[in-house]
C-alpha cells in the first residue's frame, strides 16, 4: 500500500492568522485517475496554465468553481484527504523560544506533516509506504536537505513505534506546483482560508470606495468552497480545530476527509 502526501504553505505573517500549512493525501492507486480527471477539466475550461488562488478573478470565477467542485468530489468520496493548519496571532506560547523565522517555519512544517493526518495512528499488517511531495521550499540548499532528511526519519521517532508508515530513500522530494494539478488545487483551498481568516474579503484599496472585483471574486469562490465543506461537516467552523464529530478520536485524524488544525503553541 502506498500514499502520496502533497504539502504546501501560504504566507506566514498576517494581521490575524498566520503560519498556514496545507496538505492532501491520496492513495497511489487513485493518483493517476484523479490527476487525469483534474487535468482534463482544466483543458475543458481552457485553463492551460497553473491554477492558483492568486489568479482568481471574476472572469475566471466560474471556471475555478467547476474545478473546485471536481476536486471536492474526490474529497467527499475519500480519494483525497485535506488538512489545513494555521495559528491565531493571539495564541502566544507560554515560553518564548528565540529562533530564526526560517527555523520556526521548518519546525512548524514538520509538526504539521507529522501530526495533521494522524499517520502514527494508522493500523495495518503490511507496510504503508509514504511519498512526501513538498512545494519548493524557500530555504537555502543546506536547510532544505536537512528538512527532507528529517522527514525521511519521521517513522523512527517517538509515537510511530507501532505505525506501519515507511518512507524510503528518495521518497521525500521538492516539486514544482505547475507540474502537479493536485497541489494546485490544494493551493486554492489553502489560499481561500488565509484570505477569509484574515478578513481580506473586507479589504478596500486606498483611493477606492468599494471592494475591487478580484476581492469580490475571491470571496465568492471562498463561499463556494465552504459550501462544499459544509456538505461534509454541516456548520463547519473554519476558525477552530475540527472536532472529532463522531467521537472517534484519535482515529478521526486519519478517517476524516477534511480537517482544520488551529495550532496553539505550548
Is the pLDDT score of 89 beyond 60? yes
Taking phi over 0 as left and psi of -120 to 50 as alpha, with beta for the rest, 155 belongs to alpha
Q: Higher-confidence residue: 209 or 47?
A: 47
The sign of the dihedral angle between the CA atoms of 161, 167, 168, 173 is: negative
Q: Could you give the count of Cα atoms lying within 13 Å of 127 in the half-sphere of its Cβ?
A: 7
Q: Which of 176, 190, 19 lies closest to 105 in space, CA to CA?
A: 19
Q: Higher-confidence residue: 242 or 97?
A: 242
Supply the DSSP string of 172-192, one letter for each residue. Answer: EEEE-GGG-HHHHHHHHHHHH
For the ranges 1-15, 96-110, 235-249, which has the lowest average pLDDT? Answer: 96-110
Is the pLDDT score of 247 beyond 70? no
On average, the pLDDT of the chain sits at: 91
Contact 175, 183 (CB under 8 A): yes
Q: Which of 70, 8, 75, 7 lies closest to 42 in space, CA to CA?
A: 70
Supply the DSSP string of 40-59, one letter for each residue. Answer: HHHHHTT--S---GGG--TT
- Whole-number Cα distances in Å, 44 to 9, 143, 227: 28, 40, 24
Is the pLDDT score of 196 beyond 90? yes
pLDDT for 252 = 87
Contact 187, 84 (CB under 8 A): no
pLDDT for 156 = 93
What percentage of the chain exceeds 90 in pLDDT? 72
Tens-place pLDDT, residues 153-163: 999 998 888 88
Q: Does the domain formed by 2-262 have CATH 1.25.40.10? A: no
- Which DSSP state fits 112? H
The sign of the dihedral angle between the CA atoms of 155, 108, 222, 178 is: negative
Confidence of residue 65 (pLDDT cuts 50, 70, 90): very high
Query: Domain-by-domain residue ranges, the chain?
Result: 2-262
Residues in Cβ contact with 257 at an 8 Å cutoff, skipping those fewer than 6 apart: 75, 76, 78, 80, 81, 82, 232
Contact 252, 246 (CB under 8 A): yes
pTM of this prediction?
0.92
Residue 201 CA to residue 196 CA, distance in Å, equals 6
Query: What is the rounded average pLDDT of the residues 233-257?
Result: 87
pLDDT for 118 = 93
pLDDT for 251 = 83
pLDDT for 10 = 80
pLDDT for 31 = 98
What percentage of the chain exceeds 70 in pLDDT? 95
Query: What is the rounded average pLDDT of the residues 206-225?
Result: 90
Alpha helix positions (H), the chain: 28-44, 61-76, 101-115, 141-152, 181-197, 213-232, 252-255
Amino acid at each position: 500500500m502506498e500514499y502520496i502526501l502533497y504539502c504546501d504553505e501560504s504566507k506566514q505573517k498576517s494581521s490575524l492568522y498566520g503560519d498556514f500549512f496545507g496538505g492532501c493525501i491520496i492513495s497511489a492507486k487513485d493518483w493517476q485517475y484523479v490527476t487525469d480527471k483534474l487535468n482534463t477539466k482544466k483543458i475543458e475550461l481552457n485553463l492551460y496554465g497553473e491554477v492558483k488562488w492568486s489568479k482568481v478573478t471574476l472572469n475566471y470565477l466560474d471556471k475555478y468553481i467547476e474545478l473546485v467542485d471536481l476536486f471536492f468530489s474526490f474529497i467527499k468520496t475519500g480519494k483525497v484527504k485535506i488538512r489545513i493548519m494555521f495559528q491565531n496571532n493571539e495564541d502566544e506560547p507560554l515560553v518564548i523560544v528565540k529562533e530564526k523565522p526560517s527555523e520556526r517555519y521548518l519546525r512548524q512544517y514538520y509538526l504539521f506533516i507529522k501530526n495533521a493526518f494522524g499517520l502514527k495512528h494508522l493500523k495495518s499488517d503490511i507496510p504503508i509506504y509514504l511519498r512526501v511531495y513538498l512545494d519548493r521550499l524557500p530555504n537555502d540548499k543546506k536547510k532544505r536537505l536537512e528538512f527532507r532528511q528529517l522527514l525521511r526519519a519521521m517513522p523512527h521517532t517517538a509515537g510511530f513505534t507501532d505505525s506501519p508508515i515507511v518512507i524510503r530513500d528518495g521518497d521525500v522530494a521538492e516539486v514544482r506546483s505547475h507540474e502537479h494539478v493536485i497541489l494546485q488545487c490544494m493551493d486554492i483551498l489553502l489560499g481561500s482560508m488565509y484570505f477569509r481568516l484574515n478578513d481580506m474579503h473586507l479589504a478596500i484599496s486606498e483611493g477606492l470606495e468599494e471592494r475591487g472585483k478580484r476581492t469580490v471574486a475571491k470571496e465568492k469562490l471562498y463561499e463556494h468552497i465552504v459550501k462544499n465543506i459544509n456538505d461534509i461537516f454541516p456548520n463547519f467552523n473554519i476558525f477552530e480545530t475540527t472536532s472529532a464529530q463522531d467521537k472517534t478520536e484519535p482515529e478521526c485524524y486519519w478517517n476524516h476527509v477534511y480537517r482544520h488544525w488551529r495550532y496553539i503553541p505550548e
